[in-house]
Amino acid sequence: MRSCLSFRGWTPRVAVFFIGAAWFIYVASVDLSLVPNKHPHSVPIGQVAELSGYSLSHKTRREGGVSFNRRVRCHPDGGDRATRDSMIEMILYPLRFEPIYQYRLWGGRRLASLLATPLPNDGPIGEAWVLSDRDDHPSKIANGPLQGQTIGRVMEQSQEQLMGKLARRFQRFPLLLKFLDAHEMLSVQVHPGYARANPPAADGTAKTEAWVVLESGKESCIYAGLKPGTTADVLRQSVASGTLADHLVSIAPKPGDGVFIPAGTVHSLGGDVVVFEVQQNSDTTFRLYDWGHVDTKTGRPRELEVDQALACIDFVDGAAGLVTPTVEAAASGERERLFDCNAFRLWRLHGESPFAVGAADVPRVLVCTEGTGQIEHGGQTYAVRKGEGWLLPAVVGSCTFRPSSAIGLLEIAIPEKSESGRANKSSGVDSE
C-alpha cells in the first residue's frame, strides 16, 4: 500500500497547493492584527514581555501618543496555549520625572510651595533633585508607558533616541538638576575641576554649576569666589580663626539673578534663599568651613576637608559671580540666555502665548518655575505644572509649549562640544 505521506505521484500543481496552504496557515498564526490585543499598557523598555494575547506584527502601533515597533515570534509552551514574546522598540516621548527630596541640616520647608509632590515628614529638606542619573539617587519616569523606569535605563537601552547626535559621548546623562532651599548657610565649599582635583573626584567628573535665584529674603547671601590677593595660606589661617567670610566675594541675591560657579570656585549660599541649580553630573564636594553647624542626626559637627579643598581652588580665574542675561530674538514671549559654558546652556523663557521649545536631534530639559502649561508633541498634550522637570528626548525634536497663563520656564541644553566646563561665554560676570 502506498503511504499517504508519500510524495510519489503528486503532480507539481498538487504540491504547490499544499505548500501554499501550509504557508497560509503559518502567516495567519502570526498575523496578529486579526486577533484582539490584550497586552499590558506599560512594558519596560528593552524587556521581552510575556503577553496574554496577540499584538501587532511587523507594524507600528500608537498608544497614548507613543509608537511601538513590534516583531513577534510564536512558539508552543508544551500545552494548548502559546506564549508570545514581544520585542519592543519604543519611540520616546516627553518624559516627566518624580522629584527626589534630600534631607539637609541647612534646609527648610519652602520647596513645598514650589513643587506639587508633598515634602516628606517634618524635617529640613534642602534639595529636590529634578533629574539625576546617579546610582544612589536615580530619577524615575513619572508618566506614560515607561513610568517607573530610571533615566539610566533609558540611557542604556535607547541612547540614540534620547541623546541624538550626542549619543555614545556620555555613559550617564551628564547633568544633575536641583532645587535648593537654603534656610541656613551651606558650608563654604569647593568642587573639583578635571585638572585641579587632588585627589581626583571620586566619580571622575568635574563639577561646574550655576544658580537661578527664585526667592530671597533680607538675610539672604551668596558667596562666589575670592577677593583679590587671597592666598592658600590666608584661607587656611582664616578657617582656623573663623574669619573666612572676610575673604569671599559677597552677593545680595534677588529673584531672577543668575550666578555662575565654575569648578574650583569657593562658594556658599543661605539665609532663606531658594535657587534652581544646574550642574555637571558629579556629587563631589570638599568642605572648607561649616559655620559651626552641628548635625541634629549625629549630634556632631560635619567633617571638613581643608587640604582637599585648597588643592582644588582656582586662585586665578575670576569667572564666578552674577551674570548679565542676553536677550535673544523670539517669535513669541521673552527668551533670555543666562549661561553658556562648555558643560551646559540655560535659557529663561517668559510668556503667555505658545512658543517653541526643544531642538532637532539633541535632548533638552524643561523646568517650570512659575505657572502651568502643556507640551504639544505628536498630536498629544502633556500637562506641565510648577516645579516639574521634563526631558525632551532628541527624537522629539522641536515642539510647542502652550502656557495656560503667564509662565516661567527654564530650558537647559548640553553643548555639542564639551571641554573643561568653565568659561561662561554668553554673559558678562559682575563682581560685588
The C-alpha cell at 118 is 508633598
For Cα atoms 128, 155, 419, give the angle at the middle one, nearest 5 degrees: 80
Per-residue CA distances from 88 to 73, 310, 378 (Å):
12, 51, 19
Q: What is the pLDDT of residues 29-76, one digit of tens each?
A: 444 333 333 333 334 444 433 333 323 333 444 444 455 444 333 333
Q: What is the pLDDT of residues 228-257, one digit of tens each?
A: 999 999 999 999 999 999 999 999 999 999
- CA dihedral angle for residue 237, residue 241, residue 243, residue 247, rounded to 10 degrees: 0
Q: Alpha-carbon distance 400 to 374, whole Å?
A: 8
DSSP 218: T
Q: What is the pLDDT of residues 321-375, one digit of tens each?
A: 999 999 998 888 899 999 999 999 999 999 999 999 999 999 999 999 999 999 9
Domains with residue ranges and CATH for the chain = 12-90 (no CATH), 95-323 (2.60.120.10), 326-430 (2.60.120.10)
Q: For residue 98, which phi and psi values (nearest 5 degrees)?
A: -75, 140
Report the residue count for the chain: 432
pLDDT of residue 4: 43
pLDDT band at 421 (very low <50, low <70, confident <90, very high): very low
- In the block, cell 559655620 appears at 291
pLDDT band at 94 (very low <50, low <70, confident <90, very high): very high
- In terms of Cα–Cα distance, which of 209, 213, 224, 211 is closest to 256? 213
Is the pLDDT assigned to residue 1 strictly greater than 60? no
pLDDT band at 15 (very low <50, low <70, confident <90, very high): low
Q: Across all residues in the chain, what is the average pLDDT?
A: 82
Is the pLDDT assigned to residue 2 strictly greater than 50? no
pLDDT of residue 107: 97
Per-residue CA distances from 360 to 201, 331, 400, 413 (Å):
33, 18, 13, 12
pLDDT of residue 350: 95
The side-by-side arrangement of strands in the sheet containing 286-289 is 248-251, 221-226, 267-270, 188-190, 286-289
Q: What is the pLDDT of residues 299-314, one digit of tens each?
A: 999 999 999 999 999 9
Q: Alpha-carbon distance 24 to 21, whole Å?
A: 5
pLDDT of residue 26: 52
The residue type at 158: S
Is the pLDDT assigned to residue 401 strictly greater than 70? yes
Is the pLDDT assigned to residue 397 strictly greater than 50? yes
